[in-house]
Amino acid sequence: MDSFLIRGGTRLKGKIEISGSKNSSLPIVAACLLADGPTRLHGVPRLSDIDSMNKLVGELGCHVFRNEPAASGHDGPPLNGPLDIEVRDEKVSHARYDIVKTMRASICVLGPLIAKRGRAQVAIPGGCAIGDRPVDLHIRGLMKLGAEFRTEGGDIVGEVPKGRRLKGCNLYLGGAQGPTVLGTINVMCAAVLAEGNTVLVGAACEPEVVDCANLLKKMGAKITGEGTPEIKIEGVDKLIGCEHRVIPDRIELGTFIIAAALTNGELELKHCNLDHLVAVVDRLEEVGVKIVRENGTVFVSSSRRLNPVEMTTQPYPGFPTDLQAQLMALLCLGDGMSVITERIFQDRFLHVGELNRMGAKIRKEGPTAIIQGVRELQGANVMASDLRASAALVLAGMVARGTTKIDRVYHIDRGYEKIEQKLRAVGADIERIEEK
């Protein structure tokens, strides 16, 4: 397993190009199972989770081809070539445990398979580092549309009864923790091919839901209200492949904004959409970070006098749980006491112990972390535990005194495209130690 070696104390300065969104691309690749004919996707990042999803849809009968990149015209790593996906064979509808256990987003094939093939067998995703992550809401929504479910040897098997079709209805998809992002997408992907109208109430409003709806509409689906808690869908008989560019990755953007703030740096972040981070900008401006936007570029600077803040993670448009760990790394150096409450995944605090190993002063109380700002962090050996916790450790390593070694960076490779190359290009002292 590879690790990162980071020598702290450098100031980030320069341009970074934001990649396409991982969390948009994963369900969008799965949604290609719904279409007849080829779909061409632009901006899909090269990440290990995307490789897993490509492999999965490949096993489910898709031909998947990654084209060569076009010349980038800038200094950073080259852009990705488009991804072509076409269903060639609908015989296999089984998402095996071998793939599902490496990537929970495999659950995204459930809705498309049931809607298009009338049958899906998907291994039940187990727990993961950020807590228990049930899929009951996905199943409840698909059952309302008429699918029948049973479990079989660790798999969920969903079927549309013989001679029938999914049938549109009014359904509520909220859960105890609020709406579900992938659950909304799964049910939306099934309802587009159902007979009649569906009203999905309590839908997630995340930009990734809107992006998937936009893809489906290009394929011929009839959807309105995406981006609000009530999505209306008029079922159609078939969908046809299309061309689509996935939205920029808002979590990568937020991570680099925090990187600039922490290192007292000045970054110019290209090809991004700050409208997707309104709550994050609100908190960061309160901290004292200067964020200016011009067209699709965001300029960030900071004098590194960091005010303490309070923040609670919430469904969109609230502060995203996927940036909670990175904000915590920043607040470790705040001028006083900050409070972070995690409302989406209440156990998502694995980074706390590792940040404390680097000299932070963080105390957990249930779903809340109390962060007493310190004057400096020190380099240490730390362990990546989940994707966003690992990103927080990279941020902390760049500002810590001395050297930080982060083990198990495969977690970062799941979600940050070429992160060490991007950071090195703007002055970070970070290298990957490959395990032979």
Nearest distance from C-beta of residue 387 to ligand EPU, angstroms: 4
User: Which of 40, 133 has the CB closer to ligand EPU?
Assistant: 133
Label residue 434 exposed, middle or buried (CB < 10 Å: 0-12, 13-18, 19+).
exposed
Nearest distance from C-beta of residue 389 to ligand EPU, angstroms: 9
Nearest distance from C-beta of residue 412 to ligand EPU, angstroms: 11
Nearest distance from C-beta of residue 304 to ligand EPU, angstroms: 27
Stretch that binds ligand EPU, among 116-124, 135-143, 254-262, 369-377 (CB under 6 A): 135-143
* Residue 178 falls in which region: left (phi positive, over 0), alpha (psi -120 to 50) or beta: left
Query: Is residue 117 at the binding interface for ligand EPU, with CB under 6 A as the rule?
Result: no
Query: Is residue 347 at the binding interface for ligand EPU, with CB under 6 A as the rule?
Result: no
Query: Is residue 145 at the binding interface for ligand EPU, with CB under 6 A as the rule?
Result: no
Stretch that binds ligand EPU, among 37-45, 133-141, 275-283, 362-370 (CB under 6 A): 133-141
Burial 64-82 (b: 16+ CB within 10 A, else e): bebeeeeeeeeebbebbeb
Is there a contact between 279 and 327 (Cβ–Cβ < 8 Å)?
no
Query: β-strands 3-7, 403-407: how paired?
Result: antiparallel
Residue 153 phi/psi, 5° resolution? 55, 45
Query: Is residue 250 at the binding interface for ligand EPU, with CB under 6 A as the rule?
Result: no
Is there a contact between 415 and 387 (Cβ–Cβ < 8 Å)?
yes
Cα–Cα distance, 179 to 203 (Å, whole number)? 6
Rounded (5°) CA angle 298-427-432: 110
Query: Is residue 321 at the binding interface for ligand EPU, with CB under 6 A as the rule?
Result: yes
Nearest distance from C-beta of residue 9 to ligand EPU, angstroms: 28
**Which of 388, 411, 418, 422 touches ligand EPU (CB under 6 A)?**
388
User: Which of 138, 351 has the CB closer to ligand EPU?
Assistant: 138
Query: Is residue 181 at the binding interface for ligand EPU, with CB under 6 A as the rule?
Result: yes
Binding pattern for the stretch 36-55 against ligand EPU, x by CB under 6 A and - elsewhere: --------------------
User: Which of 23, 385 has the CB closer to ligand EPU?
Assistant: 23
Stretch that binds ligand EPU, among 162-170, 174-182, 270-278, 324-332 (CB under 6 A): 174-182
Stretch that binds ligand EPU, among 213-221, 256-264, 318-326, 332-340 (CB under 6 A): 318-326
Per CB under 6 A, contacts with ligand EPU among 202-221 are: 204, 208
Query: Is residue 121 at the binding interface for ligand EPU, with CB under 6 A as the rule?
Result: no
Is the preceding peptide bond at 125 cis, omega within 30 degrees of 0? Answer: no
332 is catalytic: no
The footprint of ligand EPU on this chain (CB under 6 A) covers a number of residues equal to 25
Q: What are the angstrom distances between the C-alpha of 314 and each of 204, 280, 322, 344?
A: 11, 11, 10, 6
Choose, from 32, 62, 108, 128, the residue flagged as catalytic.
128
Rounded (5°) CA angle 360-365-371: 25
E-state strands within 169-294: 170-172, 197-201, 222-224, 230-234, 239-240, 243-245, 266-270, 290-294
Binding pattern for the stretch 400-419 against ligand EPU, x by CB under 6 A and - elsewhere: ---------------x----
User: Which of 32, 425 has the CB closer to ligand EPU?
Assistant: 32
E-state strands within 153-202: 155-159, 170-172, 197-201
Nearest distance from C-beta of residue 71 to ligand EPU, angstroms: 30
Q: Treating both helix axes as pointing N-terminal to C-terminal, what angle do 136-144 and 110-117 enclose, rounded to 10 degrees?
A: 20
User: Which of 37, 154 has the CB closer to ligand EPU?
Assistant: 154
Is there a contact between 78 and 418 (Cβ–Cβ < 8 Å)?
no
Label residue 137 exposed, middle or buried (CB < 10 Å: 0-12, 13-18, 19+).
buried
Is there a contact between 433 and 3 (Cβ–Cβ < 8 Å)?
yes
For residue 55, give the nearest of 79, 26, 76 by alpha carbon: 26
User: Which of 76, 134 has the CB closer to ligand EPU?
Assistant: 134
**Which of 62, 147, 258, 344 touches ligand EPU (CB under 6 A)?**
344
User: Which of 290, 408 has the CB closer to ligand EPU?
Assistant: 408
For residue 188, give the nearest of 150, 230, 156 by alpha carbon: 230
Query: Is residue 378 at the binding interface for ligand EPU, with CB under 6 A as the rule?
Result: no
User: Which of 297, 314 has the CB closer to ligand EPU?
Assistant: 314
Query: β-strands 94-95, 310-312: how paired?
Result: unpaired
Cα distance between the two ends of the chain: 9
**What is the binding site for ligand EPU (CB under 6 A)?**
23, 26, 105, 133-138, 175, 177, 180-183, 204, 208, 320-322, 344-345, 387-388, 415
Active site residues: 128
